[in-house]
Amino acid sequence: MIRVFLKPMPIDTVFLDAGGVLVFPNWARVADVLARHGVRAEARALADAEPRAKHEMDVPQGPAAAKTDQQRGWVYFNLVLAHAGIPRSNATSAALDDLHAYHQQVNLWEFVPAGVPPALAALRALGLRLVVVSNANGKLRELFDRVGLTSRVDLLFDSHEEGVEKPDPRLFHIALARAGARADRTVHVGDLYHVDVVGARAAGLRAVLFDVAGLYPDADCPRIRALGELVDLVT
């Protein structure tokens, strides 16, 4: 655990990003779709490449600012492939089209790490309200139902439904108001500094960066590499 602690202050609500914190891309499915298009890729290699790709996107006004979900998806997955040593081609483009179609229909972020359910249970056992605040595509509620996470959180906010995305502080303000939470007693956990940390601070919340690969050594906020570490951090 990276020991940079929150300043002592009562916390009664935890906001959680979905993708990259609670749910992750199904890299086995991604590898299978690539294989159907003749592209050899190992799911483990894709998963290992993903944090570096995401870190590359996490800059102000960078590639993550692409206007549409599909544009962002293309940037994201092409960076993952690049970091995994897989060159772009007509075959990878066709595979990404198939993956985007699946994501729009179902949601590709369908893998839940084994440590997530017990960590959520431990946070709830501390009396904390758990609120998901996520940039998503309108399918997040269906996804949480499908992967068994709906009952493990108290509220869920999908940016597509609200019409505003992080880092815009309005999404956090909406979540605070409907949750009946106070900004000064709420901490937000997310995996993108310029989306989650910047956005949460703009809304008056404290923030914790989910830095699974340790790529943000100079970040001016607490960092964790697994959700279970959040239990120690908030206590």
CB 174 within 8 A of CB 162: yes
- Dump pLDDT digits (tens) for 95-127: 999 999 999 898 999 999 999 999 999 999 999
**Predicted pLDDT of residue 10:** 85
* For the chain, domain boundaries: 13-23+111-234, 27-105
Write down the number of H helices and E strands in the chain.
10, 6
Q: What is the CATH number of domain 13-23+111-234?
A: 3.40.50.1000
- Dump pLDDT digits (tens) for 38-56: 999 999 999 999 999 999 9
Q: For residues 207 and 197, what is the distance between their CA atoms, to the nearest angstrom?
A: 5
Report pTM: 0.92
**Predicted pLDDT of residue 30:** 98
- Dump pLDDT digits (tens) for 141-171: 999 999 999 999 999 999 999 999 999 999 9
Q: For residues 149 and 141, what is the distance between their CA atoms, to the nearest angstrom?
A: 9
Q: For residues 229 and 234, what is the distance between their CA atoms, to the nearest angstrom?
A: 9
